[in-house]
Chain A
């Protein structure tokens, strides 16, 4: 499992509420990523991090923010959740050979 955990694993929240998802790694990798997975779209990159306090946007970053205050944790925040953000969210780490390994995922439902 590449030492990656995500929390929570499932969450139901109401429109307009803030939500934070956590990704935790135990292997001290520099690069971390957040993707969302929706039917018909595959996986799409939301944000990524290339070090502590170093983050950048991916292709679907609107409505999301991230933070990385320590190497092992990468947080994804939905400031005001909308129904269009109902999805499965996967965190990934990148090893030295460029391979990415995914966490177990978080299923988020916004009602």
Chain B
């Protein structure tokens, strides 16, 4: 099955700086890559996703890039704010029907005011 690796496991940045989280995947058939944000004690929340037919997607301060050749994708958060502090998970899937997600182990982002 798919294996998703995520780095770093923890990340601290100063408020206003950028944060980058990277994930690699093993299954070349994977074609859907979502990112989730999870605050303490809460459910994971989808923040952005990308499909394999595009290389980059942006939504305000968040962007995701995908390199299919190298089988890696990254989350970029610019102008970080304290409310960005959370655990972020990447995931990958190959389904066209049932969309079984394989998750990375998470990155704990701390934004220091």
Contact = CB atoms under 8 A, between A and B. Distances in A.
Contact of B98 (A31, A42, A105): A31
Contacts of B100: 33, 45, 48, 58
A56 B98 contact: yes
Nearest to A44: B103
A101 interface: yes
Interface residues of B, number: 24
Contacts of A42: 6, 89, 103-106
Contacts of B91: 43
Interface string B1-36: 100001000000000000000000000000010100
Chain A: interface secondary structure? strand
Contacts of A15: none
A100 B43 contact: no
A4 to B, nearest CB: 9
Contacts of A86: none
B104 to A, nearest CB: 6
Contacts of B6: 42
Contacts of B63: none
20 contacts: A33-B100, A40-B105, A42-B6, A42-B106, A48-B98, A48-B100, A50-B97, A58-B100, A59-B1, A90-B43, A90-B44, A94-B98, A94-B99, A98-B99, A100-B99, A100-B101, A101-B46, A102-B43, A102-B44, A104-B42
